[in-house]
Structure 1
Amino acid sequence: MNGHVIVRTDRRPDPDAVATLAHVGVATGHEAMGRRGLAQPVLRPIYPGARIAGRAVTVLSHPGDNLMIHASIEQCGPGDILVVTTTSPSTDGMFGELFAVQLAARGVRGLVIDAGVRDVAALTAMGFPVWSRAVSAQGTVKASPGSVNVPVVIAGCHLRPGDVVVADDDGVLCVPLSLAPEVAGKAVAREASEADKIEQFRSGVLGLDLYGMRPTLDRLGVVYVDESA
């Protein structure tokens, strides 16, 4: 595709995989995917405690211009997550309460934006989750073309429309649509394994022993010494 486009697409991940990834969260999902897909930690939630997963609707926008966010809304539906990035770095407040009201009315679960967001108090009060690079009241214009539902890179993470986005207090994870069921299955197994480890740690078992790391200390030449009286 050439030029600026708004792509209408039915690419959608397996709903059971999305629900599972929402439950297990970013850290477990990241480990289950072989420690891949994690966006750079510049994207942070505007309020703590939110955890979402959903289909990515992507926006590639000119910095300081939110025209394409307006254009993207009719492409969003229940369970989606709007993902916005810009063609060059920006921290301008491209998204606020009026956008969130429109998206919430369409059943959108949240926003991930590699730029700025404003109206944080209102977004928090309405319970609309946002992960952003910055919080800024700097206003924007509506004048420059961009694209909707095209492949993007957001905070170092490659994302295609229809892929799964997982976001919580630990950051943002991008899971390719085709891998979502496999990653979800591995994440469930990992969660069960971690639950077992938690019970052992509560009983007093040390990670050094559970993970068999004492031979590693020996191999690396780490020795125990008793302090002299």
Structure 2
Amino acid sequence: MDELVLKFQGIPTTAISDALDGLFNLDPSIKPLKEEYSFAGRALTVKTAVGDNLAVQKAIREAKEGDIIVVDAKGDQYRAMAGDFVVGMAQTMGVAAMVIDGVIRDVVAIKGLNFPVFAKGTTVAASGKAGVGEINVPISCGGQAVNPGDIVVGDADGVVVIPQAIEQEVYEKAVHKIKKDEEREAKISGNREAIIAFIDKNLGQ
């Protein structure tokens, strides 16, 4: 895993989103199965037909340690892109997380794996295996463009994509945002007069 990805592991998605002016967030319906899940890594993208997960399995086979499998399942919520068996294979192959614009099944068993899965929800229906799909191509996931190798970060608040061309700049802006927030909190929190002054300033008074 490269150094910049490791740095992003300690940055909240909220700070990254602010650094990106809120322009690169996945749809908030894509949520972690457990609030404590978080990840940062580079995207291994999957484009697949609705209800067909063979391309997901191909991505698992080709994944490098620390990759994030990001699946464009067209938002379909009827057929699962993965169950506990597929997620378990991804975990064994060193995938760091799965982000699915669609749904999963076997939710209790997947939670038992303690592996970060972010999806729109759960279903009972299995996927097909027709094999329609591609990996490592530009996709749309949760209404956001994702290119192979983009840094993807997820936590309890959601998922954000960082385009490769601006990843260093975004990291620096996010760190600066965190520092400014900490300074503001130290100055204002617990101080009634400071809180009133802060709100009045925002209100233009």
TM-based fold match above 0.5 = yes
The amino acid of 1:152's aligned partner reads: I
Provide TM-score, normalisation by structure 2: 0.91
Task: Give the superposition deviation at 1:72.
Answer: 1.1
- Match of residue 168, structure 1, among 131, 152, 155: 155
Q: 1:209 aligns with which of 191, 197, 205?
A: 197
SS of 2:167's equivalent? helix
User: Which amino acid letter does the alignment assign opposite residue 53 of structure 2?
Assistant: N
**2:112 maps to what in 1?**
125
In structure 1, list runs of 5 or more residues that go unmatched: 1-13, 219-229
- Kept after mapping to 2: 8 A contact 1:123/1:129: no
AA aligned to 2:76 is S
Asked if 1 retains the 8 angstrom alpha-carbon contact of 2:54 and 2:130, the reply is yes
Distance in 2, Cα, partners of 1:146 & 1:56: 16
Which residue among 77, 84, 93 is the counterpart of 2:80?
93
Give the counterpart of 2:17 among 14, 26, 30.
Answer: 30
Letter in 2 for 1:61: T
1:20 CA drift (Å): 2.5
Per the TM alignment, residue 47 of structure 1 is displaced from its structure 2 partner at its CA by 1.2
Q: Could you list the per-position Cα deviations for residues 8-67 of structure 1 after superposition, in whole angstroms to 9, with x for gaps in the alignment?
A: xxxxxx833222222112110010122220111110111111111100000001111111
1:199 and 2:186 aligned:
yes
The corresponding residue for 1:9 is none
Matched letter for residue 29 of structure 1: I
Equivalent in the alignment of 1:102: 89
- The answer to whether structure 1 residue 84 and structure 2 residue 71 are counterparts is yes
8 Å CA contact 2:60–2:95 kept in 1: the answer is no
The separation in 1 between residues aligned to 2:30 and 2:202, in whole angstroms, is 37
Report % sequence identity: 28
Distance in 1 (alpha carbons) for counterparts of 2:128 and 2:61: 20
1:215 and 1:103 map into 2 onto residues whose CA distance is 50
33 and 85 in structure 1: CA distance in 2 versus 1, 3 angstrom threshold: same
Give the partner amino acid of 2:35: P
Aligned to 2:53: 66
Measure the CA separation in 2 of the matches of 1:44 and 1:114.
10
CA shift digits 1:177-205 (9 cap, x unpaired): 12111111111111111111121223415
Structure 1 residues 214 and 47: CA distance shift in structure 2, 3 A: closer
Is residue 178 of structure 2 the alignment partner of residue 183 of structure 1? no
TM-score (norm 1): 0.82
Q: Gaps (5+ residues) in structure 2?
A: none
Of residues 203-212 and 130-139 in structure 1, the stretch that sits farther from structure 2 once superposed is 203-212
The 2-side partners of 1:214 and 1:28 are apart by 20
Alignment partners' CA distance in 1, 2:2 and 2:118: 22
Aligned to 1:147: 134
The offset of 1:85, in angstroms, is 1.0
How far apart, CA to CA, are the structure 2 residues paired with 1:95 and 1:39? Answer: 19
Amino acid at match of 2:22: R
Equivalent pair of 2:75/2:142 in contact (CA under 8 Å): no
CA drift of 1:211 comes to 6.8
Aligned CA RMSD, in angstroms, stands at: 1.8
Match of 1:116 in 2: 103
CA radius of gyration, larger in: 1
Q: How much has 1:169 moved relative to structure 2?
A: 0.8
Q: Is the counterpart of residue 52 in structure 1 residue 39 in structure 2?
A: yes
**Alpha-carbon separation, structure 1, partners of 2:114 and 2:203:** 49
